[in-house]
């Protein structure tokens, strides 16, 4: 992928949190790139650093206890880590927007949803109140919320989970951002509403040309939505590939373990055949093991795994951080 065609480049990103127990290395050398109109899926178990990566891009890491120790986050040619707080506020919610994981806690309960969308418009677009009201109705209509003229006057608690998520998407889209960070956008929604939200995100990507960083632990969502996938484990990306390549040829033992833990409709479980699990537990980010962080759970561990593996190329665009693929 040519550098001049990229919308976002994250390079050697390290985000840490200083706690009484020690230093938590939540993001440990993460790097990836995202082109316009592309959907990049960032997948991994809970606690692996996916959400912290998204918050780091937006400059929303609480300081203290958090801190971005090193790295670059280049968006539209500018390193966001060099910008002032004032400059970041002009980008956040405007050029880059985020759909947060739980809309019930992300939306302010004491203001109507219309007011909250209208405030984003008035801050970044400097439109009048009447213009903001009209744009708010238009955005709620675009995300498929029924009766938007009425709904904009309701409070978050008066809406279902699916409706609140549509409001969050409308808020994210209202300033026509170049990049949306969608953090578990279908969490706690039933299967039917999940499908509707994913279809909405896909349609809006096509209609608006917005790039999407899709953060999830759900491989089914990744398979349905993503163009490329980055698999994250213990603060690091361990495999990066086009979506079809990853599912056809998972190369890292952790990626393979995730795939094997998914129920297959055409392969019913029996007494003698059950779902495979990944042995052990995720290592503490306070005390990561030397070398490959997955080695203590890996069934193909070697002595060399005590050394930190670099990325090894598999095919064009597919690379894996595992000594098994050293050439």
Query: Any idea what the CATH number is for the domain that residue 310 is in?
Result: 3.40.50.300
In a domain, 39, yes or no: yes
Residue 140 lies in a domain: no
Residue 63, pLDDT score: 86
- Whole domain around residue 321: which residue ranges? 3-86+221-263+274-325
| Position 10 in a domain | yes
Q: CB neighbours of 63 closer than 8 A, spacing ≥ 6? A: none
Rounded Cα–Cα distance for residues 202 and 108 (Å): 27
Question: What does the buried/exposed string (b/e) look like for 242-266 if buried means 16 or more CB atoms within 10 Å of the residue's CB?
Answer: bbebbeeebbbbbbbbbeeeeeeee
Number of compact structural domains in the chain: 1
| Residue 314 forms part of a structural domain | yes
Q: Is 202 exposed, middle or buried (0-12, 13-18, 19+ CB in 10 A)?
A: middle
User: Residue 168 domain-assigned?
Assistant: no
What does pTM read for this prediction?
A: 0.89
169 in a domain, yes or no?
A: no
- CA dist 187 and 53 (Å) reads 18
Of 228, 269, 318, which is closest to residue 35 (Cα–Cα)? 228
SS3 content of the chain, % helix, strand, coil (to 5): 35, 25, 40
Angstrom distance (rounded) from CA 200 to CA 137:
17
Measuring CA to CA, how many Å separate 299 from each of 92, 168, 267, 283, 295?
43, 42, 24, 16, 8
The answer to the question of residue 68 being in a domain is: yes
For residues 49 and 55, what is the distance between their CA atoms, to the nearest angstrom?
10
- Residue 228 forms part of a structural domain: yes
Instruction: Report the distance separating Cα 302 and Cα 51, nearest Å.
Output: 31
Per-residue pLDDT of the chain (327 residues; tens, 9 = 90+): 555 588 999 999 999 999 999 999 999 999 999 999 999 999 998 889 999 999 999 999 998 899 999 999 999 999 999 999 999 999 998 899 998 877 777 889 999 999 999 888 888 887 888 888 888 998 898 888 889 999 999 999 998 888 888 888 888 888 888 999 999 887 767 788 788 878 888 887 888 889 999 999 888 889 989 999 999 999 999 999 999 999 999 999 999 999 887 776 666 655 545 667 788 888 889 988 889 999 999 989 999 999 999 999 999 999 999 999 998
Q: Can you give the pLDDT at residue 172?
A: 86
DSSP 49-75: SHHHHHHHHHT---TTTEEEEEEEEEE
């Amino acid at each position: 992928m040519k550098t001049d065609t990229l919308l976002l480049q994250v390079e050697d990103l390290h985000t840490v949190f200083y706690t009484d127990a020690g230093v938590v290395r939540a993001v440990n050398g993460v790097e990836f790139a995202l082109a316009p109109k592309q959907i990049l899926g960032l997948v991994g178990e809970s606690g692996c650093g996916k959400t912290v990566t998204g918050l780091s891009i937006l400059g929303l890491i609480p300081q203290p206890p958090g801190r971005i120790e090193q790295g670059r986050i280049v968006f539209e040619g500018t390193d966001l880590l060099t910008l002032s707080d004032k400059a970041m506020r002009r980008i956040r919610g405007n050029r880059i927007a985020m759909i947060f994981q739980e809309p019930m806690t992300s939306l302010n309960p004491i203001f109507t949803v219309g007011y909250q969308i209208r405030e984003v418009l008035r801050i970044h677009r400097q439109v009048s109140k009447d213009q903001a009201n009209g744009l708010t109705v238009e955005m709620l209509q675009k995300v498929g919320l029924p009766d938007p003229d009425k709904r904009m006057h309701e409070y978050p608690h008066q809406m279902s989970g699916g409706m609140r998520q549509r409001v969050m998407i409308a808020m994210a889209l209202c300033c026509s951002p170049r990049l949306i960070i969608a953090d578990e956008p279908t969490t706690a929604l039933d299967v039917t509403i999940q499908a509707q939200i994913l279809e909405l995100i896909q349609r809006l990507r096509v209609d608006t040309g917005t790039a999407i960083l899709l953060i999830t632990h759900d491989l089914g969502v990744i398979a349905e939505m993503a163009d490329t996938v980055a698999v994250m484990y213990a603060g690091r990306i361990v495999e990066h590939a086009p979506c079809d390549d990853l599912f056809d040829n998972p190369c890292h033992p952790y990626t393979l373990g995730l795939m094997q833990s998914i129920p297959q409709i055409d392969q019913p479980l029996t007494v003698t055949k059950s779902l495979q699990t990944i042995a052990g537990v995720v290592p503490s980010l306070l005390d990561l093991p030397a070398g490959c962080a997955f080695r203590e759970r890996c069934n193909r561990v070697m002595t060399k795994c005590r050394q930190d593996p670099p990325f090894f190329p598999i095919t064009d665009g597919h690379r894996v951080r595992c000594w098994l693929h050293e050439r």
